[in-house]
Amino acid sequence: MVTAARAIVECLLREGVDHIFGIPGTQNLPLIDALRDTPAIRYVLTRHEQGAAFMAYGFARASGRPGIVTSTEGPGVTNLVTGIAAAYKGFVPVISLCGIQEDFVRERDANQDIDQTSLFRPITRWAYSIPSAHKAQESMRKAFRVALSHPTGPVHIDTSRDVFLEETELEDIAPAAYRTESLPNCPESLLNEVVKLMERAERPLFVVGGGVLKEGLIGEMQHLAELTQIPVAALQYSPDAFPSTHSLALGPLGRNGWASANHAAPRADLIVAIGAHIDVYSTTFRYGVISREAKLVHHAVSPSDIGVVYPVALGLSGSTRSFVEGLTARLESAGRTWPWLDVPKARADWDAERFGEVNAEAVPIASQYLAATMRKVLPRDGMMILDAGNAGKHMRVYFDTYEGGTFMSIDDWASVGGAFPIGLGAKLARPERPVMCTVGDMGMMCNIGEIETAVREHIPVVCVVYNDQGLGNERAYQNELYGGRQYAVDYGDVDFAALARTLGAFGERVTDPADLEPALHRALASNQPAIVDVVIDQGTLAPVVFHP
């Protein structure tokens, strides 16, 4: 016999969990105590539960495995909500394993008592409160099964100290006995129909999404493009699904995307979307980037993604591998190519446009120059983590991708302040990769305490602050939509480099553009958590209205 807490930890070990993020509290202390005796799992104590949730998010996305977060009841749990909602919107498997008030005080308006499962149901795939020890292991098995089933996403589990301490029989059941990670293949007959549509097309375009990235199919997708000479655009949340440095790559679509993609896509008469969850940033959910006259073949792993935004000529669900490999086999025998677009010229025109806006001498430092320099300094295999807001929008324009697993944003949630803790989680998952975060000064303040976490846990992430002493994104909206009437968008000047040094991290403030590149190199070379605080021009704002 073991306690439910010990049994839960054994479930985590069988699933290969080696990191948990969170903060202890009264009701999850039995779990924390069990983890103390489990050296195979690294417990990362954070400064705030929101930071813990975002670290689990970053760890899950970078590793491809569930991220685990824990907190105590009441306010500890409510502090997780923003990060868990981000995981829900981004299809990220995060499992929150939390405390809840004991039965004898629940539903009596007691201290820190709230209906936690009801709170989490709208932002998780499953939310459940474990009623007794004998249900604990079954609940954990279901939690992993649901989190990893498509559409993947977060799960919330909670229980009280009393249940954690109850004893139960240990159930030694391997993950393969209660869940499967295999995906169904796309129907052969529908793959044949895709080829027929392509044969009738004159200007086909591949649009790739996260499915290509998650199933590790970048090489196979490149081969398919080269075989057919069909240009490739990427959905904005996964530009590294087809590296933008490839000769057939048009880059990411949409607002703050690339003109090479946005000008080519409306000309296509057939769009083949592969592993695609159609998002509003890439398409605006209107016709424009995607022509009303174009036929759309939409492949996604989950049937629920198909036809949500645009009516399809053909929809297919199943593994991305079966779609890419099935299409490749058919087109290899057909031998046809579609070289309808001069991709190198489209890219050269775009490069001339975007780099023409880079002013390396402007003081205060121009955002475009900062973004371009970050891309220059970060190694090709380095990971770039984008926060929401003006800083992230600039980075999208200048972040060329060379390989997969090098780009991450807070997909479809745009939560300001998540990038730094997400970067910490991603670095723990992929310690061999350099990690750099892009944040604004407002976003940096949101999880500023996690600098101490990074120092204590020795997580060498470089966070670059676009410091314009305010809300750049909202300035842009007020300029565009409110006649330039700016209000409630200005902050005081915070020296984030000095704060970083106070907390034991590397910190450097940059005001002269000549000092920027050396400062970024020093931060990466420091092998410490590093904050590079760059004072930028308030007037270099990313566009907020998209005209394809």
The alpha helices in 40-112, defined as continuous H runs, are: 49-63, 75-78, 81-90
Nearest to 50 by CA among 419, 359, 317, 337: 419
Q: What whole-number distance in Å separates Cα of residue 52 and Cα of residue 153?
A: 17
Contact of 46 with 22, CB cutoff 8 Å: yes
Q: What is the pLDDT of residue 321?
A: 98
Contact of 61 with 426, CB cutoff 8 Å: yes
Q: Which residues contact 515 (CB under 8 A, 6 or more apart)?
A: none
Q: Does 114 have pLDDT greater than 80?
A: yes
Give mean pLDDT, residues 163-188. Answer: 96
Helix, strand, or coil here: 274?
A: strand
Q: What percent of the chain has pLDDT over 70?
A: 99
- How far is residue 429 CA from its own chain's centroid? 14
Q: What is the pLDDT of residue 101?
A: 83
Which domains, ranges and CATH numbers included, belong to the chain? 2-177 (3.40.50.970), 188-342 (3.40.50.1220), 357-535 (3.40.50.970)
Nearest to 513 by CA among 373, 354, 336, 365: 365
Angle formed at CA 449 by CA 446 and CA 455, multiple of 5 degrees? 135
Q: Does 454 have pLDDT greater than 80?
A: yes
Q: What whole-number distance in Å separates Cα of residue 163 and Cα of residue 179?
A: 25
- pLDDT confidence bin for 548, thresholds 50/70/90: low
Give mean pLDDT, residues 458-481. Answer: 95
Q: What is the pLDDT of residue 432?
A: 97
Higher pLDDT pick, 334 / 520: 520
Give mean pLDDT, residues 499-509. Answer: 98
**pTM assigned to the model:** 0.97
369-390 as b/e: b if 16+ CB within 10 A: bbbbbbbebbeeebbbbbbbbb
Q: What is the pLDDT of residue 226?
A: 98
Contact of 434 with 524, CB cutoff 8 Å: yes
Q: Does 399 have pLDDT greater than 80?
A: yes
Residues forming a β-bridge with 422: none
Q: Does 292 have pLDDT greater than 70?
A: yes
Helices (H) and strands (E) in the chain, counts: 23, 20
